[in-house]
Structure 1
Amino acid sequence: MNALLTPSTDRFECLSAQLDGLRRAHLAAPMPNAKERIESLKALSRMMQDHQQAIVQAICDDFGNRSNQETLFCEFVVVLGDIKDAIKHLKGWMKPQRRKVDLTLYPGAVNRVIPQPLGVVGVIVPWNFPLNLSIAPLVGIFAAGNRAMVKMSDRSRRLTRLLAEISPQYLPEDKLVFIEDDGEVGPHFSRLPFDHLLFTGSTATGRKVMASAADNLTPVTLELGGKSPAIIAPDFDLSIAASRLMFWKLLNAGQICTTVDYLFVPESSVEPFVALARRLATQRYPDLTSADYTSIIDEVAYQRLWDTVDDAKAKGARVVFLTDDERGDAATRKFPPLLLLDVSDDMVVMQREIFGPVLPIKTYRDREEVIEYVNRGPRPLALYPFTRDAETRDAYISRILSGGVSVNHCLLHVGQHDMPFGGVGASGMGHYHGRDGFMNFSKLRPVYRQGVIDTMKLLTPPYTTTTDKVLAVMQWIAR
């Protein structure tokens, strides 16, 4: 029943029934072999490739406009690579791990840790990369042998309906189900007694999801956001830094949880950076009506960005538009890319995740200012130091704790198949991608197997002086 929930549906009962169906299927076949798991992964890949154009169009329509190239790069290339990598390494990941046995106390015994499926995993997907952030978790979930219910965003209705329609052609509905959200499904979904729950979204919503999951003691992986800083060190080529930073800041119109949320620039480099950023933006997006430039997801988000800029301007920030279009287009929700200079902490733009093509710039004189400033706030999801100096690089990495780091570029750590992705503190908990995703969605089950000789007989009551001597030997060995 890959059903789309409507306002008249008893949501919780319908969702519970779907979960019960997946759980029954899991209990009937709780330990899929490697071949079965690989077939599930291949099915995901075929689904994406067979319906590539329809998926790209659905995402574009949900946004209002997003370039085919950005969708292919951010949604298809990365995820298809994840699937290919998982298929290649799955058999190795599944192997039981041998662990040391204290042979003195337990001669002949064997210890193993066996990765086993958890059961049914719930996935709550945001709208900004709806294919990537639904399918990428499924790679780890299916590699680990689980089944999944995926609740899509209410801002991704066209894509959700497409996936709900086509997925049963590739995977049975007791393996995978997509849930459409009308804006009210989320709280019911997070109350379900999943065996694990993955949420990607804002920190504020993440707190609510975790509270709901706690009622069932459902373990959670939270991939949240936050304010991820970039830092240009004085030794780094400013033009290279500007080119890389502006590429990522304007990709998807800044609607990325790991994008640069604010930038530290040496005082003397501010005006040169502004000039470079403006030249780069006008070269890449000479006309905001271009299909290359992504729309803001909806009217509420579009107006929120203007309110954020107006708040900063009213409190003393200098607004620098990066293209000739300074008004944007409310009809298409194309928001003009801009910089904010002279920002202060009382501005909304420095307090909340921006999620748009707005880049605040702060100046600094020495790296201690940067370290102290970042560490005063919640731990960010990502950190982006630009420097050729190893000592400066290591100082930022060792003294600022973040979910991940890309040095001399942005976001690229997220796309590495053999690297865990996740936050820390207010930016999230838990990891997935690659082997780490497989482990995250597995129960690492310790199994002890008794040898021929049972030393525990020596500790069987009634206790005697012999028992005392055995315990004395055990304590001596343990010390």
Structure 2
Amino acid sequence: MAFRKAPPSFETRMASLKKLSDIVEENKERLIEAVYKDFGLRSKEETLFLEIFPLQDEIRHAMKNLRSWTKRRSVPGSWFLLPSTAYFQFQPLGAVGIMGAWNYQVLLTLSPLVDAIAAGNHAILKPSEISPASAEVIKEIINSSFPKEYIHCVTGDAELAKDFSAQPFDHLFFTGSTRIGKLIMAAAAPNLTPVTLELGGKSPAIIHSSYSIKLAARRIMAGKLFNCGQTCVAPDYIILPKELNSEFEIQAKAAVGNFYPDISSNEQYSQIINAQHFDRLNTLLKNAEELGARIVELSSEKSSEDQQLMTPKLVLNVTEEMQIMQEEIFGPILPVLNMDSVEAAVSYINDHPKPLALYYFDDKKKRINWVLKHTMSGGVLINDTVYHLAQHNLPFGGVGASGMGHYHGYDGFKTFSKKRAVMHQKRFAASDFLHPPFTDAKKKLIKFMGRITKV
């Protein structure tokens, strides 16, 4: 799949980024309406705030910094190779494949494209078939704006996705579930295609007993209920001491009431993507209740299967054997796990697959640093949820079961680039004296070099 012509110039990359920004702006309302159609109902403000705005800001960030990212960088040469010089430069990998995700189709398909363009690659996009309306709009605006041999978009079902991931790309980028991520990696393996996997997992939120429960509940529920919980970095469960359950329940209900006073009739609270996912969430709730959990409704209104409307819920008295604690929820359901100490919470988290995000609510710097030192996750946000995703100067990506590789900003540019090493030897070089045959004098020199480099 690698192209044989010279890669796109700096000017071409900048023009392409500007064009991408322009077509997103020109088709902003079409994209918002398509996303709304895919979900049956999704807040237009959420699509604008959580997809269009961060995408445009990411393009702006890339254009502002691209010249410095592409600069050749000199490094100190090894002393025994003097007077040679050494440097590295980033070069495009070639042709890359990008597979988007249904929950934020616009952002998660086009954000990796920003990085791929900035790095100078050709790209083929495959939006998720689960959100077909937005996939078709993306396909139309991309294919009508860029040459097919440069940037192209295809749409299709799961079978096409399988074939897509088996193509001999120079890099493959996938956003989705851990289960599908394993299949993508297996399909790419025969071609030795390097992959970036942006997956999910169970992202915990730990609340220290000294922190404001009102503030923690408000910020956790805000992050949890964006897109009705269908967000890869949404808090998946919380950990707090049992004596704080009642207060958290009160404050969580208050937060939901403030955010969504008329859940069933307003245009602010999103629906579940499809009937299959709606049924899966109800199965999780039923299993938890059968095993002794208490379901707490956070809204005075009821869920509606006809509308695929699921109201926010807390799940108390959860235990490890419940399905809700074994798989990513991806919905407006928040289990509460009770533990008396931060140490116990960290031990629990470390006994499970590494999460994509970890949220910790505490004002004590010493405890915060202890949690950072003793846990591993894709990212961390202290005293809030979700918004670390929008930090362009921070890498975004998982670890272990939550993914591999990074993107956003400079890290995304590097993901789609080859950091190529270059050494420039001079006409007269010290290394010329080390060619065979190894005379006694050369043997002594080599032995001397070994002695002075010994630690």
Shorter-chain TM range is over 0.9
State the alpha-carbon separation in 2 of the partners of residues 33 and 155 from structure 1: 36
Residue of structure 1 in register with 2:166 after alignment: 191
How far apart are 1:285 and its partner, in Å?
1.8
Instruction: Work out whether 1:443 is the aligned partner of 2:418.
Output: yes
Contact kept? 1:108, 1:452, Cα under 8 Å: no
1:77-476 equivalence runs, <5 A:
77-103=53-79, 105-289=80-264, 290-326=266-302, 328-476=303-451
How far apart are 1:411 and its partner, in Å?
1.2
How far apart are 1:196 and its partner, in Å?
0.6
State the alpha-carbon separation in 2 of the partners of residues 182 and 413 from structure 1: 32
For 2:18, give the aligned amino acid. K
Secondary structure of the residue that 2:191 maps to in structure 1? coil
How far apart are 1:405 and its partner, in Å?
0.5
Contact kept? 1:154, 1:181, Cα under 8 Å: yes
Instruction: List per-residue Cα deviations over 1:162-211 (Å, max 9, x = no partner).
Output: 12212233322112111212232121111111101111111111111111
Comparing 49-58 and 175-184, the one that deviates more = 175-184
Instruction: List per-residue Cα deviations over 1:290-342 (Å, max 9, x = no partner).
Output: 2111010001000000111000000000000111223x122221111101000
Query: Quick one: percent identity of the two aligned structures?
Result: 39
Secondary structure of the residue that 2:82 maps to in structure 1? coil
For 1:76, give the aligned amino acid. I
State the alpha-carbon separation in 2 of the partners of residues 38 and 199 from structure 1: 24
Contact kept? 2:84, 2:429, Cα under 8 Å: no
Secondary structure of the residue that 2:81 maps to in structure 1? coil
For 1:331, give the aligned amino acid. D
- Paired residue for 1:64, among 40, 48, 63? 40
State the alpha-carbon separation in 2 of the partners of residues 373 and 477 from structure 1: 49
Change (3 A) 1:459 1:318: same
State the alpha-carbon separation in 2 of the partners of residues 181 and 153 from structure 1: 8
Would you identify which runs of 4 or more consecutive aligned residues in structure 1 move more than 6 Å? none
State the alpha-carbon separation in 2 of the partners of residues 475 and 364 from structure 1: 56
Secondary structure of the residue that 2:105 maps to in structure 1? coil
State the alpha-carbon separation in 2 of the partners of residues 147 and 188 from structure 1: 19
For 1:417, give the aligned amino acid. H
State the alpha-carbon separation in 1 of the partners of residues 216 and 37 from structure 2: 33
Residue segments in structure 1 that go unaligned for 5+ positions in a row: 1-19
Contact kept? 2:292, 2:318, Cα under 8 Å: yes
State the alpha-carbon separation in 1 of the partners of residues 437 and 82 from structure 2: 24
Instruction: List per-residue Cα deviations over 1:114-133 (Å, max 9, x = no partner).
Output: 10000011111110001110
Secondary structure of the residue that 2:240 maps to in structure 1? strand
Instruction: Work out whether 1:27 is the aligned partner of 2:39.
Output: no
How far apart are 1:398 and its partner, in Å?
1.1
Contact kept? 2:200, 2:402, Cα under 8 Å: yes
Secondary structure of the residue that 2:373 maps to in structure 1? helix
Secondary structure of the residue that 1:397 maps to in structure 2? helix
For 1:185, give the aligned amino acid. L
Residue of structure 2 in register with 1:46 after alignment: 22
How far apart are 1:455 and its partner, in Å?
2.6
For 1:325, give the aligned amino acid. E
For 1:39, give the aligned amino acid. A
Contact kept? 1:121, 1:196, Cα under 8 Å: yes
Indicate the RMSD between aligned Cα atoms, in angstroms. 1.3
How far apart are 1:459 and its partner, in Å?
2.5
Residue segments in structure 2 that go unaligned for 5+ positions in a row: none
State the alpha-carbon separation in 1 of the partners of residues 96 and 143 from structure 2: 18
How far apart are 1:478 and its partner, in Å?
2.6
For 2:51, give the aligned amino acid. E
Secondary structure of the residue that 2:153 maps to in structure 1? strand
Secondary structure of the residue that 2:370 maps to in structure 1? helix
Instruction: List per-residue Cα deviations over 1:408-456 (Å, max 9, x = no partner).
Output: 0001111101000011111111111000111111000001111121333
State the alpha-carbon separation in 2 of the partners of residues 478 and 207 from structure 1: 44
For 2:34, give the aligned amino acid. A
Secondary structure of the residue that 1:329 maps to in structure 2? coil
Contact kept? 1:232, 1:386, Cα under 8 Å: yes
State the alpha-carbon separation in 2 of the partners of residues 51 and 206 from structure 1: 31
Task: Report the TM-score, using the length of structure 1 for normalisation.
Answer: 0.92
For 2:223, give the aligned amino acid. W
State the alpha-carbon separation in 2 of the partners of residues 245 and 44 from structure 1: 33
How far apart are 1:466 and its partner, in Å?
2.5
Comparing 170-179 and 55-64, the one that deviates more = 170-179
Secondary structure of the residue that 1:472 maps to in structure 2? helix
